[in-house]
Amino acid sequence: MRNVERYPVEGPNALWQVYRTVSRFKSVRNFIFIQLARYCPSLPVKNWIYRNILGMKVGRHTSFALMVMVDVFFPERISIGDNSIIGYNSTLLTHEYLIKEYRLGDIRIGSHVMIGANVTILPGVTIGDGAVVAAGSVVHKDVGAGQFVGGNPMQVIERRSE
């Protein structure tokens, strides 16, 4: 199971109550800067936005491809090691708003990790150093160091030696 914090809600579904969880100002500010970073061609500028405005922990020489979508409400819960690549149009979610609860969980991505295009990483997931996630995968559980995983549901394809 993923490492998430669960918060029950009363009344309408949790998404209707989102602004009890996170301020409107923070949401709008984050949305604007995430959209700028998604289209920015400069990797150093993207990383500066992620680190200094959104509060993410981003390692040296980490690369975010075009159109990567980081969590709008809680980007500060994302940490990525050195020399990793987050592929085109991937999504990193640190929240889930459900009918009767919402969940929050950190995303931890190690160093030298390759995330393929169109990957979705769910809250509470840790991806170990040197792992590879195939394009189009949904990462719903932890990925060990050096593993090659892919698919939906995600499965271990190969364990590589370091």
Asked whether the predicted pLDDT for residue 161 surpasses 70, the reply is: no
Q: Which residues of 103-117 are buried (b: 16+ CB within 10 A; e: fewer)?
A: bbbbbbbbbbbbbbb
**What residue spans define the domains of the chain?**
5-159
Q: 88, 132, 89: which is closest to 109 by C-alpha?
A: 132
- Give the class (CATH, top level) of 5-159: mainly beta
Q: Are 122 and 93 in contact (CB under 8 A)?
A: yes
Task: Report angle CA 90, 95, 101 to the nearest 5 degrees.
Answer: 145
Q: Are 132 and 102 in contact (CB under 8 A)?
A: no
pLDDT in tens, 32-56: 999 999 999 999 999 999 999 999 9
* Residue given tokens 């984050």 in the structure block: 30
Asked whether the predicted pLDDT for residue 162 surpasses 80, the reply is: no
